[in-house]
A and B are shown apart, each in its own frame.
Chain A
Amino acid sequence: MIDEPVQRLDEGALRTLVPRVLAGLVRRGEDFDAAEDALQEALLEALRVWPEHPPRDPRAWLTTVATRRVVDARRREAARHRREETTYAEPRPAATEEGDDTLFLLFCCCHPDLAPASQVALTLRAVGGLTTREIADAFYVPEATMAQRISRAKRTLRGRRLDQPGDLAIGLRVLYLVYTAGHAGRVDLAGEAIRLARQLTLATEEPEARGLLALMLLNHARLPARLDPEGRIVTLDRQDRGLWDTREIAEGVRVLQSALAVQTEERRPGRYQIEAAVAALHDDAASAEETDWPQILAWYDDLVALTEDPVRQDPAAMLGRAVAVGHVLGAAAGLRETDRLREVIGDRHRWHAVRGHLYELDGDLPAAASAYAEAARRATNVAERDHLVRQAARARVG
Chain B
Amino acid sequence: MPKYLLLKHYRGGPEPHRPVPPMDQWAPEDVEAHMAFLRHVSELLEKNGEYVDAQALTPARTWVRYGGPDAAAVTTDGPLPETSDLVAGWYMIDVESHERAVELAAYVSSEPGPGGEPLYEWIDVREVMSEAPSEG
Residues of A participating in the B interface, judged by any CB pair closer than 8 Å: 230-231, 369, 372-373, 376-380, 382, 385-386, 389-390, 392-394, 396-397
Please report whether the interface of chain A is mostly helix, strand, loop or mixed according to DSSP.
helix
Q: Are B58 and A393 in contact (CB under 8 A)?
A: no
Q: Are A380 and B24 in contact (CB under 8 A)?
A: no
Closest Cβ of chain A to B130, distance in Å, is 18
Using known A-B contacts A230-B36, A230-B39, determine if residue A389 contacts B24 with beta carbons closer than 8 Å. Answer: yes
Closest Cβ of chain A to B135, distance in Å, is 26
Instruction: Choose, from B25-33, B44-52, B62-70, B97-105, the stretch at the interface.
Output: B25-33
The interface residues of chain A lying within 8 Å CB-to-CB of B28 are 390, 393-394, 397
Using known A-B contacts A230-B36, A230-B39, A386-B35, determine if residue A393 contacts B24 with beta carbons closer than 8 Å. Answer: yes
The interface residues of chain B lying within 8 Å CB-to-CB of A382 are 56
The interface residues of chain B lying within 8 Å CB-to-CB of A231 are 39
Q: Are B25 and A393 in contact (CB under 8 A)?
A: yes
How far apart sit A396 and B21, CA to CA, in the bound complex (Å)? 13
The interface residues of chain B lying within 8 Å CB-to-CB of A373 are 22, 24-25
Q: Are B39 and A396 in contact (CB under 8 A)?
A: no
| Residue among A231, A389, A390, A396 with most chain B CB within 10 A | A389
> In the complex, what residue of chain B is closest to A396 when comparing beta carbons?
B25
How far apart sit A382 and B31, CA to CA, in the bound complex (Å)? 14
Would you give 10 A-B contacts (Cβ < 8 Å), ordered by A? A369-B24, A386-B35, A390-B28, A390-B32, A393-B23, A393-B25, A393-B26, A394-B28, A396-B24, A397-B28
How far apart sit A382 and B38, CA to CA, in the bound complex (Å)? 12
How far apart sit A393 and B25, CA to CA, in the bound complex (Å)? 6
The interface residues of chain A lying within 8 Å CB-to-CB of B39 are 230-231
Total interface residues on B, using CB and 8 Å? 16
B59 interface hit (Cβ, 8 Å): yes
> In the complex, what residue of chain B is closest to A377 when comparing beta carbons?
B59
Q: Pick the contact of A397 from B23, B27, B60 — CB < 8 Å?
A: B27
Using known A-B contacts A230-B36, A373-B22, determine if residue A393 contacts B56 with beta carbons closer than 8 Å. Answer: no
The interface residues of chain A lying within 8 Å CB-to-CB of B56 are 382, 385
The interface residues of chain B lying within 8 Å CB-to-CB of A386 are 35
How far apart sit A385 and B34, CA to CA, in the bound complex (Å)? 14
The interface residues of chain A lying within 8 Å CB-to-CB of B23 are 389, 393
How far apart sit A372 and B59, CA to CA, in the bound complex (Å)? 16
How far apart sit A379 and B88, CA to CA, in the bound complex (Å)? 13
Q: Are B24 and A372 in contact (CB under 8 A)?
A: yes
How far apart sit A69 and B23, CA to CA, in the bound complex (Å)? 61
How far apart sit A397 and B26, CA to CA, in the bound complex (Å)? 9
Closest Cβ of chain B to A386, distance in Å, is 6
Using known A-B contacts A230-B36, A230-B39, determine if residue A393 contacts B59 with beta carbons closer than 8 Å. Answer: no
> In the complex, what residue of chain B is closest to A379 when comparing beta carbons?
B58
The interface residues of chain B lying within 8 Å CB-to-CB of A379 are 58
The interface residues of chain A lying within 8 Å CB-to-CB of B22 are 373
Closest Cβ of chain B to A347, distance in Å, is 9
Closest Cβ of chain A to B29, distance in Å, is 9
How far apart sit A394 and B27, CA to CA, in the bound complex (Å)? 8
Q: Are B27 and A393 in contact (CB under 8 A)?
A: yes
Q: Contact mask B1-44 → A, CB, 8 Å, 1/0?
A: 00000000000000000000011111110011001100100000
How far apart sit A185 and B114, CA to CA, in the bound complex (Å)? 33
How far apart sit A380 and B59, CA to CA, in the bound complex (Å)? 10
Closest Cβ of chain A to B117, distance in Å, is 17
Using known A-B contacts A230-B36, A230-B39, A386-B35, determine if residue A392 contacts B58 with beta carbons closer than 8 Å. Answer: no
Closest Cβ of chain A to B11, distance in Å, is 13
How far apart sit A386 and B24, CA to CA, in the bound complex (Å)? 10
Closest Cβ of chain A to B97, distance in Å, is 28
The interface residues of chain B lying within 8 Å CB-to-CB of A396 are 24-25
The interface residues of chain A lying within 8 Å CB-to-CB of B58 are 378-380
> In the complex, what residue of chain A is closest to B35 when comparing beta carbons?
A386
Closest Cβ of chain B to A185, distance in Å, is 15
